[in-house]
Structure 1
């Protein structure tokens, strides 16, 4: 059966090469991928809502209900068991896993990611994990694009483009925001694509949006359009700037707290211990702060209406609802603790994304600003500030100012808010960049020098590999050889550098032709001078595992042209300045091709 399938595939690919150009084929595939990921997004939404509905039927939440403490752990445990016994593989978190695949795996994403992220994230979020579904959805879309491209034997750049199509399609289907999805793919995934690649991304986003609309029609995530009926005034600009600074600082806190908690959990080797510690602490937080339960999108919709009662619902803090000062404290607590709750969900083994927590925190920040203005009888449209807060945290946490702007513009079905969105987004992003160079998504990859998608120069250096650049046509000479024996080697050599090695291949030094030119035509010295006396150990040398970033830096700094490659002291070959920069230019041209 498998042989027949392979024959059919080969026949199809031959027909395709004869009748359909590469560009046309990619256009067709982008539409197909858009349709598939649109269905995947609907399936994920439906699955989460079904799980959440069943959970609430079986365990109705009442004030002080202790099930808040246990349910998230149950969902995370189910996700962990699914990974261990069904998939038998760890599932990386959201967007970072896509960036890693592009950077280090030639765009290869494991086939199980086409469904495993959907199931595990649905279990995590459905039972109350304080994370979002967008990250796993993006992994699913990217995995679909990657595997379609690999099955159809496409080129590397075409596979990367289909990964972008899958990611953009999912975002478009979830938020009903095709323009924001396109911007997200270019800004966050940052594919280093030529302008000709925009069309497939547009086709995938449109197809996914229409597919989602076909199944759920007007069932959108956010209901801000019908509520937003008031614009802004020029006197509001200072408050926009302050909001931008505040969301920027919150974003810095988000990243640093997330990384700190992740580092703590990485030191815990046992999965059980991670589950018990992370799940237990998460349950404790949800018991005291029920508004942190799940994605929190229903609370964002309440925030659009100026309704902050969810902060007190089913909470022990309900007695403080009439106090302005204590309500402000509770606002700040929810903003800060949401980050901890999301990080604990990941640490315990749950699967999800940080997009939804970022939006939730931004909405709470905007609602908090409105609440303070309202208390001091300053006229401020609550929906406007909630939307701007969401824009600010997307710009700050994800380092995606354009995505923040266009997502909110899509949500509000217009561009009337463009100026305040630009102000908040730019100020938030600028504030974050004072403290942090990389987002939560890119921090670890950049630290390990594994990130190629956000820096073209780094992209090329990452793809360069020392092992493929080693030149081995240098004639070696034994460390105990005489000058006469060296001259015999020179007679048949094509290069003017001679590595000096012992019986075990260990490098003792090198001899350059220029070093012996003054004595090489004096036969009387051939048996009197040893190689040891004319050799020298090179100042710079590398190993096959050295980072190309460091190698290129040394090459530029030293001014030398050839560098020995040693593996535990043993001579392997040389790497030359000319070869490195020739390969660098070749790969750069590859990235720049239309």
Structure 2
């Protein structure tokens, strides 16, 4: 009499083969990218909206406003008057400080838009979900308590983590993983600014760099998917109210080159001040890291008491400046104040992005320039025009994304007469940034970069005696798709990739011996050219010492970060 077990086994095998077939199609089919891009865009759009809601919740809990207008007492704590500005960053710092320290100290390193996306090429879903969750919550608390940072960096982090997680779940190769990360970053910017074209250009300029029509299509699809979701929930309201403006005077065009020069230099100053202040805070602080945001919050609160306009992202204040409600002196004070406030917020351990502060600082620089020109030339364009041009120029120099700066301002304003002034100013700002960057690189390249200086710690190796199931578990825990294999004495014998292991899932493999590959290795003294040649054909490279043992693990992103530090 049959027990039915004979029929169950073939069905189980069929399901396993069907699952493997779906995974193979997602990894290898060009058409699969379309589906994955839509999924990444949809999930990122939803995640970004949740993050936006969290910021409003925490800001409202402290101030009584969804976005603090930069003046007046808290509606929640009216008895404190403006002194709530001192209390808010201290209390919120006491909340997110321990949260970050105990759950994800890595989140502190992801402050800007580039930093929020590029590292995810090296991490799997198990790591990025933890870091991103902590960064998302910590950023919302930081901004709710007055931290002078932006929401765009965390939104990019959410999208990048979504792309990385999906790529890790389906064991997609590193090239497609980078594409999905770019899709997520584009979706994050699209939701943040209600600007899908800007999201596309941002991802192509910052992450993809060298792209094809297929990758452009995937990124654009993801960005528009997130835009549709955001539009359905929050509507088409602009980032802030835009005054009526025109920039159609040919005789004024040379002036915009000077605006680009000024705002570009200010953007560079800001980009350098953030890591500089962080290093100073590291040097000064001697207490426990989890307490640092609360103690630093006292000084941040005093700064907010003196200049309440620095509270949060500052978009209401930016709108007032663009609309001409502030004089020249106050605009300049706000520009310098934002540089100090944002740098200090991040330096004491606060979480958030620098995209919005960069736009704020550029807008103040441009508006100040416009006010001066207006005093000297009665027929000049309004200060609003100069402020918006300054926004694009500062972003282009600080983030090295010229096209994104131009497209973003056009999408926000839909004013065609701004395109030529934007192009001139951004070109000048990008040129200044490039010239300054070239001088830095000449100095940096005098120091020889070796594999030993760039390599990260060796990932946990797989014993050669492991079964396929044990190897699969090790790969699932690891942020890498390729792991070293060692013999019984701990000596390196090769590598095992998740792709090769998955391909062998239908065969009767009891040990991993036959699945081991031998990727090109590099010695500790390998220099830049050798490392580039090796990484051009594989996602990672083992660094082997003279005795043949592993001393490090080299990945492309670490090499890029060393040659082109942000």
TM-score (structure 2 length as normaliser): 0.71
Query: Is 1:83 aligned to 2:84, yes or no?
Result: no
Aligned to 2:67: none
Q: Would the aligned equivalents of 1:252 and 1:397 in 2 still touch at CA under 8 Å?
A: yes
Query: Is 1:52 aligned to 2:62, yes or no?
Result: no
Change (3 A) 1:156 1:123: same
Q: Would the aligned equivalents of 1:392 and 1:404 in 2 still touch at CA under 8 Å?
A: yes
Deviations along 1:175-200, one digit per CA (max 9) or x if unpaired, are 11111111111112235433321111
Query: Is 1:402 aligned to 2:409, yes or no?
Result: no
Aligned to 1:387: 388
Aligned to 1:313: none
**Offset, 1:448:** 11
Aligned to 2:369: 369
**Offset, 1:101:** 2.1
Alignment of 1:68-467 (within 5 A): 68-86=85-103, 90-94=107-111, 95-98=113-116, 100-101=118-119, 105=123, 110-224=128-242, 227-267=243-283, 268=285, 270-272=288-290, 274-276=292-294, 278-308=296-326, 328-376=328-376, 378=378, 379-437=380-438
Question: What is the RMSD computed on CA atoms of the aligned residues?
Answer: 3.9
Aligned to 2:46: 39
Deviations along 1:411-469, one digit per CA (max 9) or x if unpaired, are 12254321100001011121222323599xxx99xx9979xxxxxxx9xx9899999xx
Paired residues, what number?
451
Change (3 A) 1:6 1:371: farther
Change (3 A) 1:62 1:167: farther
**Offset, 1:384:** 1.3
**Offset, 1:128:** 0.9
**Offset, 1:410:** 1.0
Deviations along 1:252-284, one digit per CA (max 9) or x if unpaired, are 221232222111123335315632553222222
Name the CA distance, whole Å, in 1 between partners of 2:301 and 2:356.
Answer: 19
Q: Would the aligned equivalents of 1:462 and 1:548 in 2 still touch at CA under 8 Å?
A: no
What secondary structure sits across from 1:153 in the alignment?
A: coil
Change (3 A) 1:215 1:241: same
**Offset, 1:173:** 1.2
Query: Is 1:67 aligned to 2:46, yes or no?
Result: no
Name the CA distance, whole Å, in 2 between partners of 1:377 and 1:88.
Answer: 52
2:525 paired residue among 546, 556, 563: 546
Q: Would the aligned equivalents of 2:160 and 2:184 in 1 still touch at CA under 8 Å?
A: yes
Aligned to 2:495: none
Change (3 A) 1:369 1:64: farther
Name the CA distance, whole Å, in 1 between partners of 2:42 and 2:216.
Answer: 18
**Offset, 1:51:** 1.6
What secondary structure sits across from 1:416 in the alignment?
A: helix
What secondary structure sits across from 1:73 in the alignment?
A: helix
Change (3 A) 1:61 1:306: farther
Q: Would the aligned equivalents of 1:75 and 1:125 in 2 still touch at CA under 8 Å?
A: no
| Rg larger in structure | 1
Q: Would the aligned equivalents of 2:151 and 2:192 in 1 still touch at CA under 8 Å?
A: no
Change (3 A) 1:62 1:546: farther
Change (3 A) 1:18 1:276: closer
**Offset, 1:134:** 0.7
Q: Would the aligned equivalents of 1:114 and 1:144 in 2 still touch at CA under 8 Å?
A: no
Gaps of 5+ in 2: 1-11, 65-74, 460-520, 533-542, 550-555, 557-566
Could you tell which deviates more after superposition, 53-62 or 141-150?
A: 53-62
Name the CA distance, whole Å, in 1 between partners of 2:107 and 2:547.
Answer: 39
What secondary structure sits across from 1:334 in the alignment?
A: helix
Q: Would the aligned equivalents of 2:178 and 2:208 in 1 still touch at CA under 8 Å?
A: no
**Offset, 1:156:** 1.4
